[in-house]
Structure 1
Amino acid sequence: MTMHDECKLKFVELKAKRNYRFIIFKIEDQEVVVEKLGSPDETYEDFTESLPANECRYVVYDFDFITDENCQKSKIFFIAWSPDTSKVRSKMVYASSKDKFKRELDGIQVELQATDPSEMSLHIIKERALKLFVISPF
């Protein structure tokens, strides 16, 4: 499995310049390619509606949130979307390529695996992002 050069380029633009809210990647002809770029003003709902219901995808999502201390923060999520209704072969290809692809994207802060929309609800995304900011009392 190879990765098209555009994947890394667009990821760097998301991370450094914040040109995109999300990037959806798909595997096409044994290569990971960019399928869709979400503009910075797109919502989480816009993103979830962009995912195919029956096909696997990789996603990078730049999530902005406010901590309990009222600080504006941002976390970059890597989401492996593998719906229960997708083909078994597709699930296997995406699962076996995930770690290699993710290693190429330096700066991922949170990883999430989802097989149905409820596993990547906005509530879960917020919860996972806020977990990174819990300060230990010790």
Structure 2
Amino acid sequence: MVVSRDVKFDEDASWNWEVNEDFVNEFFPFFDEDNEGEETWQPSTITSSLFVPRSSQDGTYYFYANAASGTAVDDECKLKFGELKAKRIYRYIVFRIDGQRVVVDKMGSPDENYDNFSASLPSDECRYAVFDFDFTTDENVQKSKIIFIAWSPESARVRMKMVYASSKDRFKRELDGIQVELQATDPSEMSMDIIKSRAV
């Protein structure tokens, strides 16, 4: 990490591994959506967030560092993912962040297809999802891969995008068996052609 000479660290607040991450959305600057996207910093109180900038009276930014990040993952997320991977009883699973936890939002039966999955994603809210993709290689070999999709549509609230982005890697680590990752802001970025090109 590179820090400029104008940045100071509060070492007493640094790397507290025991703090529960209740303010993950403060990892990023807060964008005031009612003020045409003008960037404003959060109030000057120490929280458990990673590298949260705080402006002092002399204009110097102080960064309070903490190693914790991400939201908690509900046990059902891991259970249902395990069933998709081992038993293949779902075609897809969609997850959402509810408060400070990632929870299961909806599931698709094995006979549903990619169009059903794509239609299940909201047009104005972020989601995580996994899709069990079956395909045939150029050598005529039947295969399947589990695709992880981070869905972040342009019309979603800025704050929501920040929370999902900051929690993604931790959530992915809980799902052992993901083979391909895709990030999409529009349906065209997760078309069947793109999915297949990434899977092959």
Question: Normalising by structure 1, what TM-score?
Answer: 0.93
Matched residue, 1:74: 144
Matched residue, 1:129: 199
Q: How far apart are the structure 1 equivalents of 2:128 and 2:105? A: 10
Matched residue, 1:115: 185
RMSD value, Cα: 0.4
Aligned-residue sequence identity (percent) comes to 72
5+ unaligned residues in a row in structure 1: which ranges?
131-138
Q: How far apart are the structure 2 equivalents of 1:37 and 1:117? A: 19
Matched residue, 1:4: 74
SS at match of 2:89: coil
The equivalences for 1:88-107 within 5 A come to 88-107=158-177
Matched residue, 2:106: 36
5+ unaligned residues in a row in structure 2: which ranges?
1-70
SS at match of 1:26: strand
- Residue identity in the other structure for 1:44: Y
Match of residue 87, structure 1, among 146, 151, 157 = 157
SS at match of 1:8: helix
Q: How far apart are the structure 2 equivalents of 1:74 and 1:43? A: 14
Matched residue, 1:60: 130
Q: How far apart are the structure 2 equivalents of 1:114 and 1:29? A: 23
Larger relative contact order (Cα-Cα within 8 Å, sequence gap ≥ 6): 1
- Residue identity in the other structure for 1:116: D
Number of aligned positions between the proteins? 130
Q: How far apart are the structure 1 equivalents of 2:170 and 2:75? A: 15
Q: How far apart are the structure 1 equivalents of 2:147 and 2:115? A: 15
- Residue identity in the other structure for 2:94: I
Q: Deviations over 1:91-138 (max 9, x none)?
A: 0000000000000100000000000000000110011111xxxxxxxx
- Residue identity in the other structure for 1:49: A
Question: Normalising by structure 2, what TM-score?
Answer: 0.65
More helix by share: 1
